[in-house]
Amino acid sequence: MGSLKPAGAHGQDEFGFLATRVDELVNWGRKNSLWPMPLGLSCCGIELMAMIGPKFDLARFGAEAARFSPRQCDLMIVAGTLTWKMAEAARTIYDQMPDPKWVIAMGVCSSSGGMYDSYSVVQGVDTILPVDVYVPGCPPRPDAVIDAIMKLQKKIEREKPIELLLSGDAVGEYDGGTKRFVRAPNHGIPTTRSHEYLAPGEWKDR
Amino acid sequence: MAGTNERVAAALQGLAHEASTGKDGMCVVRVAAGDAKECIRRLKERAGFETNTFVTGVDRFPKSPRHECHWQFMSVEHADRVRVYAALPGDEPKVASIVDLYPGAAYAERECFDMFGIVFEGHAGLKRLLMPEEYDHFPLRKDFPHHGIEPDRLYREWDRRRCERAAVSDHSEIADQ
């Protein structure tokens, strides 16, 4: 982004001007003012708090303003084990966040179900949410999540908001938050942990 | 514990039951499903078992009858415990609730219903405790795969509720954005 502020000595107007591309300006604004929605579901939540606190100081990246109202947030950090019982609430919170919005899956539980290979745990929040960045770790260190936020900032830099706006598809590639409860597209990858029904005689060791 | 079996036998005088001593030395009483509540009432009123420790189920899948319901009671006064169990016939097991005798059993019965699908008749608020209410399966039954079953009905139910919310909400852009 180019910034030119004419000096008063040139005798032009006092207010100055700014020359840039709209896309870059918008992306610059978005990436440096991510407001996280801290969905602290288990132990990852503790690391999340540490990350926002003074020692790791997320304010350096403009993302320290954690808000507990989804209306004020544009970055959902799913920190911890998402159970099926909580899944509807998580999805509702995501839907209530205004566009544009991003999701970080923090920790293995939210990335893939982690060690909870169980009927009660959602095997990866990408089952119900479109995830931008996955952070491994159990729980990940705050540094790792900060790294994820920096990666997300790089991702936001590459977005083309004006193009999206003009194409009339402002929601983006993922038709999230619309009426139908659709599964996130990146969940199409078959895993060995499929939820196929097995009769007792067909149980097999993994 | 000396004396427990005698006390239990005296309390259950005239009620068909089968008492034994379990491997852990605890007094174990087997009753018919229909007599379970009467048995528990007598244990409470006559034998002093005033605390319900747990209510749980057992699934002996290939066998028949498949389901069992187990209750354990404790007497603080006598410092001993007794376990009562009843085999529940049929694929849809049901047994009388003991909430009116032991209010604390309400949550235990809900959990037991959630995990084993045992219906406790007379329980005023018998709904799922741990799993989502729309869940179709009973996870601790033996024929339930431990990976779980994709809860498709959950998706449909959430979808329906989201549409309902959108219809009544002033902020209809929640669902329509």
* pLDDT tens sequence across A62-113: 888 888 888 999 899 999 999 888 888 888 888 888 878 889 999 999 988 8
Residue B138 domain flag: no
Which member of A179, A183, A195 has the closest CB to residue B149? A195
pLDDT score of A175: 43
Show the domains of chain A with their CATH numbers.
37-158 (3.40.50.12280)
Buried b (16+ CB within 10 A) or exposed e, B60-82: eeeeeebbbbebbbbbeeeebbb
On whether both B158 and B103 belong to a single domain, the answer is: no
In contact, B42 and B15? CB cutoff 8 Å: yes
- Pairwise pLDDT comparison (A27 vs A118), residue with the higher score: A27
Number of domains in chain B: 2
Shortest distance between the Cα of B155 and any Cα of chain A, in A, equals 7
In contact, A171 and A178? CB cutoff 8 Å: yes
> From B151, which residue of chain A is nearest by alpha-carbon distance?
A84
- Contact across the interface for B146 and A119, Cβ inside 8 Å: yes
Percent of chain A with pLDDT over 90: 17
Peptide bond into B89 cis (omega under 30): no
On whether both B129 and B162 belong to a single domain, the answer is: no
On whether both B167 and B109 belong to a single domain, the answer is: no
In contact, A48 and A145? CB cutoff 8 Å: yes
Residue B139 domain flag: no
CATH code at position B44: 3.30.460.80
* pLDDT tens sequence across B153-176: 677 777 777 777 666 554 444 444
- Contact across the interface for A99 and B177, Cβ inside 8 Å: yes
On whether both B68 and B24 belong to a single domain, the answer is: yes
On whether both B91 and B158 belong to a single domain, the answer is: no
Sort out which chain A residues have CB atoms less than 8 A from B154's CB and list them: 84, 87-88
On whether both B31 and B9 belong to a single domain, the answer is: yes
- Contact across the interface for A194 and B147, Cβ inside 8 Å: yes
Place of tokens 């996870």: B139
On whether both B14 and B94 belong to a single domain, the answer is: yes
Residue B140 domain flag: no
Sort out which chain B residues have CB atoms less than 8 A from A177's CB and list them: 175, 177
Q: Which helix (H) or strand (E) covers residue B110, if one does? A: helix B105-116
pTM over 0.80: no
On whether both B173 and B108 belong to a single domain, the answer is: no
On whether both B108 and B61 belong to a single domain, the answer is: yes
Cβ–Cβ contact B166 with A under 8 A: yes
The CA distance from A156 to A23, in Å, is 10
Residue B154 domain flag: yes
* pLDDT tens sequence across A31-56: 899 999 988 898 999 999 999 889 99
Phi first, then psi: what are they for A193, rounded to 5°?
-95, 40
On whether both B77 and B101 belong to a single domain, the answer is: yes
Residue B39 domain flag: yes
Residue B100 domain flag: yes
Please report the DSSP string for chain A in residue order. Answer: -------GGGT--SS------HHHHHHHHHHT---EEEEE-STHHHHHHHHHSTTT-GGGGT-----SSGGG-SEEEEES--BHHHHHHHHHHHHHSPSS-EEEEEHHHHHH-TT--STTB-S-GGGTS--SEEE-SSSPPHHHHHHHHHHHHHHHHT--HHHHHHTT-TT-SS-TTSSS-PPPGGG-S--TT------GGG----
pLDDT score of B105: 92
Query: Pairing between strand A102-106 and A75-79?
Result: parallel
Residue B174 domain flag: yes
On whether both B16 and B55 belong to a single domain, the answer is: yes
- The pair of structure tokens assigned to A196 is 């196929």
pLDDT in single tens digits along all 177 residues of chain B: 568 888 888 888 888 888 888 888 889 999 999 989 999 999 999 888 999 999 999 998 888 889 999 999 999 998 899 999 999 988 889 999 999 999 999 999 999 999 999 999 999 889 889 888 878 788 888 888 766 666 666 777 777 777 776 665 544 444 443
**What mean pLDDT comes out for the span A178-201?**
42
- Owning domain of residue B43: 4-133
On whether both B71 and B35 belong to a single domain, the answer is: yes
Query: How many contacts, defined by CB atoms under 8 Å, are there between A and B?
Result: 74
* pLDDT tens sequence across A152-167: 999 888 888 777 777 6
